[in-house]
Amino acid sequence: MARRKSLRGMGRVRRLFRRLPAAVAGEIVVELHVTGREILAAAKARTPRATGALLDGESQRVRPKLLRLQVGLLGTPKGRSKLFYGRIQDLGRKAQVVLVERRRRVKRTLSNGLELSLLRVGANGRKRSEDIVSTYRMKVRAMPGKRFITGRFPDLRGKLNRNLRGIFSRALAATAAGGGDA
């Protein structure tokens, strides 16, 4: 959910990770899984609970080949679209004036006698412009971000760094001692 920053030297780090012995990479993946569950629990504890849908939408994923941990509103684009407001809740929004279009609805009767009120849609999937009844401006207030996903988790990050430092020091010591696979 947070924006990725381009860091200098990340290509070299990724190449280094690909050359790690399988045992060391396995240890790192296990540590990422453990810490990922803890970060997910901390994020869920901070999550606003208006309906509980955001809680269900949060998950964690570890990419073993990249040695990467992702925590947040993950999943398919369709699943994330239902929780679009999670990003607004997390990062906040600025005050603005938006243009709102009210549209008329058309009543349709199904074959079983059930009557629906629908918005007409064109062949391209967009709502028809001739159905616009009125247009008006609406003020949207600013909202500070709650940072339940993109916030800092210094204690958990520190724990992960300490554990990874231990894994790397053992791997380097084993490699220096002549043991091929740590």
Q: How confident is the model at residue 140 (pLDDT cuts 50, 70, 90)?
A: very high
Angle between helices 22-46 and 154-176 (to 10 degrees): 180
Q: How confident is the model at residue 180 (pLDDT cuts 50, 70, 90)?
A: low
pLDDT value of residue 7: 65
Q: Look at the pTM and tell me if it is higher than 0.75.
A: no
- For the segment 17-48, what is each residue's pLDDT rounded down to a tens digit? 777 788 888 888 899 999 999 999 999 999 98
pLDDT value of residue 179: 61
pLDDT exceeds 70 at position 97: yes
Please report, to the nearest 10 degrees, the dihedral formed by the alpha carbons of residues 169, 174, 177, 181 taken in order.
Answer: -150
pLDDT value of residue 42: 92
Of residues 60 and 4, the one with the higher pLDDT is: 60
pLDDT value of residue 14: 73
Give the CA distances from residue 131 to residues 40, 46, 79, 112, 134, in Å, rounded to whole numbers and listed in that order: 44, 42, 29, 27, 9
The amino acid occupying position 35 is T
